[in-house]
C-alpha cells in the first residue's frame, strides 16, 4: 500500500528563517513525488514535482530513495509562504496525499 506521512501539523517560523517541511513515503515501486500548496481561499495547486528538479518560489525538494523522503526546503521564508502544504505521490495516475502541514511565517 502507498502511504505519505507528514509528521508536523503546524510549522511556525519567523520571516527570513529557513524552512523544512518533512515528507516520508511508503511505496513498493518507483513513485513520483509532488508538493501541492493551498493558500488561503485558493484552490490546491502544484508547487513542484521531483522529476522536474526545478525550484519554484525558492522552494526545492530532493527525493531521497534510501530514506524514502521528499522534504520541502526554503532557505529564507517569506510571509506570503504561509499556506497549507501537502506532499503527494503517484504510482501511475492517481495521487495519494499526506495530511498536510500548515506553514505559518510571522513577521
Q: Which of 49/74 has CB closer to another protein?
A: 49
Report the C-alpha gap between 5 and 86 in whole angstroms.
10
Q: Of 105, 89, 107, give the one whose Cα is nearest residue 10.
A: 105
Nearest to 63 by CA among 75, 72, 50: 50
Give least dist CB 9 to another protein, A. 8
Q: How far is the CB of 62 from another protein (least distance, A)?
A: 19
Could you tell me which residues are beta bridge partners of residue 101? 85
CB 101 → another protein: shortest distance, Å? 10
Residues that bind another protein (CB under 8 A): 4, 6, 32, 36, 43-46, 49, 86, 88, 90, 92-100
Amino acid at each position: 500500500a502507498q502511504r505519505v506521512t507528514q509528521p508536523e501539523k503546524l510549522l511556525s517560523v519567523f520571516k527570513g528563517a529557513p524552512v523544512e517541511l518533512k515528507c516520508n513515503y511508503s511505496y513498493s515501486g518507483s513513485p513520483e513525488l509532488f508538493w501541492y500548496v493551498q493558500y488561503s481561499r485558493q484552490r490546491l495547486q502544484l508547487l513542484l514535482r521531483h522529476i522536474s528538479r526545478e525550484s519554484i518560489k525558492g522552494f526545492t525538494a530532493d527525493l531521497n530513495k534510501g530514506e524514502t523522503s521528499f522534504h520541502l526546503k526554503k532557505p529564507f521564508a517569506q510571509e506570503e509562504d504561509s499556506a497549507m502544504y501537502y506532499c503527494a505521490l503517484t504510482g501511475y495516475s492517481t495521487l495519494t496525499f499526506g495530511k498536510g502541514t500548515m506553514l505559518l511565517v510571522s513577521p
